[in-house]
Amino acid sequence: MEFLVASSIGVLTVAGVYLVLRLRTFPVIIGTSLLSYAVNVFLFATGRLVVNRPPILSDDALSYTDPLPQALVLTAIVISFGMTAVVVMIALGAYLSSDDDHVDDQPEGLAAHDKGEGGA
């Protein structure tokens, strides 16, 4: 079970970093979402992976699940959703203002050459 969770965290992290390094805005947004999912799974796994245990320590419970990572993950999900909405709106505004969704600024000659206008 631990190997599966660690592998999924690694795959999410690698895919997120790969997508963040792309030159278009949509893959960058998906990459940041994947990275936030990887962090959420990591935070959730720090609370020990136990099944059918109560999150509150009582007299008759032999062991319990730590509720702090669950609360942190719930908070991180809300924050990452808000962050994704803001980044999507910024990317949409940038695309509508320049008719291009490149992350980096291209020189004028290269941009004209890509459009087939024969720039410098």
**Domains assigned to the chain:** 2-51+64-114 (1.10.287)
Burial class of residue 3, CB neighbours in 10 A (0-12, 13-18, 19+): exposed
Tell me how far apart the alpha carbons of residues 80 and 57 are, in angstroms, rounded to a whole number.
30
Give the tens place of pLDDT for each residue, 69-120. 888 889 999 999 999 999 999 888 888 888 877 777 665 655 555 555 555 4
With CA atoms as reference, report the closest residue to 48 among 67, 74, 75: 67
pLDDT-derived band of residue 8, with 50, 70 and 90 as boundaries? very high
* Assessment of whether the complete model's pTM goes beyond 0.75: no
Contacts of residue 76, Cβ cutoff 8 Å, sequence gap at least 6: 36, 39, 40, 43
CB atoms within 10 A of CB 78: 10
